[in-house]
Structures are given as C-alpha cells and as structure tokens.
C-alpha cells in the first residue's frame, strides 16, 4: 500500500505510511526482545518485519518480490508460506533465512 501511494503521487500518504512502517519495525524489534510475541504469531511477525525492512531499505524491492516469487500457486498454507520465505531470502541476498528460522518459521 505504501508503494501504491507513492505511485499515484500521494506524497503525504506515502510519507505517513513510511513513518508508521518505521515505528512498527521498532515496535516489532522491541516485542521480540521482550518476548511479547506469542509463539504462534512469531513467524508471521518475522515475515512482516522482513518484508517491511526490505522495502524501507530499497522501495524497488517490491518489484523484486514479484520477480522472485515462484508463480506456482498452492492451497497448502505451509507451502505458500515457504514460497514467500524463499522469496524474502532471495531478495535479501540470503540474510532473511536465519531471521525467519529463528523466529518460528519452518524450513524453506
């Protein structure tokens, strides 16, 4: 959504969304450090953290997400999650794997 705001020229909306995203990343880091994220929510939180941090690092990563994402669709949520995690790891240059695995995500 942040990128869509930038694309349509909504500069205020874009910068507001960027500010919220940065604050959410800091909150997620703190919540992980303080053990406030329930075990069954850790993987999803880690995935959202990786996606947001990759976007903040370089907004062009959104394009890379879709270029790297395997187009095969699956109704199996575990397979779908593994596919997204592989994509995050590829876009991050291999740095996302350890973070995701250490925060409750299954092997991918």
Tell me the pLDDT tens digit for each residue of 60-101: 888 888 777 766 666 788 888 898 999 999 999 999 999 999
Whole-prediction pTM:
0.84
Q: Which two tokens stand for residue 48?
A: 């959202």
Confidence of residue 58 (pLDDT cuts 50, 70, 90): very high
pLDDT of residue 73: 66
**pLDDT tens digits for range 1-42:** 888 898 899 999 999 999 999 999 999 999 999 999 999 999
Greater confidence (74 vs 106) lies with 106
**Cβ atoms of 69 and 86 closer than 8 Å:** no
């Amino acid at each position: 959504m942040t990128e869509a705001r930038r694309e349509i020229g909504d500069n205020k909306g874009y910068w507001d969304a960027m500010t919220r995203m940065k604050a959410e990343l800091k909150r997620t880091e703190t919540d992980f450090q303080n053990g406030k994220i329930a075990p069954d929510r850790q993987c999803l939180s880690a995935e959202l953290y990786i996606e947001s941090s990759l976007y903040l690092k370089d907004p062009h990563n959104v394009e890379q997400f879709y270029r790297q994402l395997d187009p095969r669709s699956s109704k199996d949520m575990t397979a779908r999650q593994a596919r997204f995690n592989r994509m995050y790891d590829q876009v991050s240059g291999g740095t996302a794997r350890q973070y995701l695995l250490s925060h409750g995500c299954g092997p991918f």
